[in-house]
Chain A
């Protein structure tokens, strides 16, 4: 066995001093009941938040024009989801980069979503007894892309000035089959049928809400509701919770990066924040192995407060020799 130089931030002088009585089982038991009492008290006094979720139905009922203006962007492929890139689609140039590498593009589009088909045409195709709608869908799908784009663009412009009086009202124009498709999609949404169509799976039990959540997030409604509840990213976003609850306060550092440049201004902000957090987490895990960092506690000297009785007892001992 060889020896090496003693390093105070890595090695210890083994304790050969006195020991005192200690009751581990009693400490754990008392701690459990103290914490239980605290938890029951907090639960009885403050309860927990449970704000109703936004559904396609509640969104299209509360803000039908926002729904239609979003739906047309899903049909023409210009929505946030349609142009998102990986993992939903392969939009050229999409996907944040860490230096020269796009990790998202390397992972690929494993959750393929075609908003035109998945959010609009396929759900509309499930509506029964609607020959006019079936004909409109057939006409739209059979038309060349340039014609579809012309109809979509015309309807997008009209939807921005549309009104709603129980049905969507747009000024007369060359919308082709799109006008009927959007009107029926709105009716479907307001009935609740679109929620079901977007979560349907080959099995009876659907548990994947990717499509309705992306559709809802593409609109303005959820964003506005979240802003009113102080949940936006620039309001320290995800770490907050509805109401006056502490939320995920332990995400403060992660959320903090989103408030400051370059993270808050970069188009690659998300991946930069994650890279920073991964690096900091790795440093924390490996702290005992990193010279310099592992010396910080010794220089901070907070340990003298924790072990003040020990140091006081040392100072009271008669010096040897």
Chain B
């Protein structure tokens, strides 16, 4: 029993209402008016002060800017103008579709609240806990900003806020949940791309949605973070995607950093025993010689 998010990227229209609602409710500061020059995505990434981030992926067969490696806004821009100029078989106003050959993918990214969370396992102060709603929560009054959770997150979510020296990420609106409210982003989402609820129920709903999309011909639709057999396990905030995970900056097969910690301890202890014995031997043999 856990509460989580189901983010259906086929419904996302890139309005960023989730980003704004998150910032407003959680009183997060603005990140500046910087232009990324790569797409409409000027938020760029999840940070300590940005807990929802809408990605914009432009896939155009002309320049294939988003589909290959995203070499920058120049390739993307020329592809768009080419597509629009030539029409590319699309009626005016439909030059860039959402799910066709030329498509524009959007995804509202968020902390995944992993079943086996790297940040939680790494935290040496016990500041990061799993709360009563089954979500991964950083207790701000305990965190001492050691920064070890930052490289321990397999999704690059949690980060240190250098202004206040602590680690921050999505709380899944712990405070709102305690009062029986929907998290701010899900509440604000105008297309129900972000659904909040019991994860088991959301998974059922997500499978129905995948089935419906397949029936309508979107046979690439699949769920990311459900029935995963990786060391991270299922994600309490999972996604419906229509392209490979890396397109959305998600790892194909995330793995829990701590999965190899016990073997690593054992290897180190074995080395320690060998080196310790060698050191003792050096002194014992030296004693015999002298």
| Same complex | no
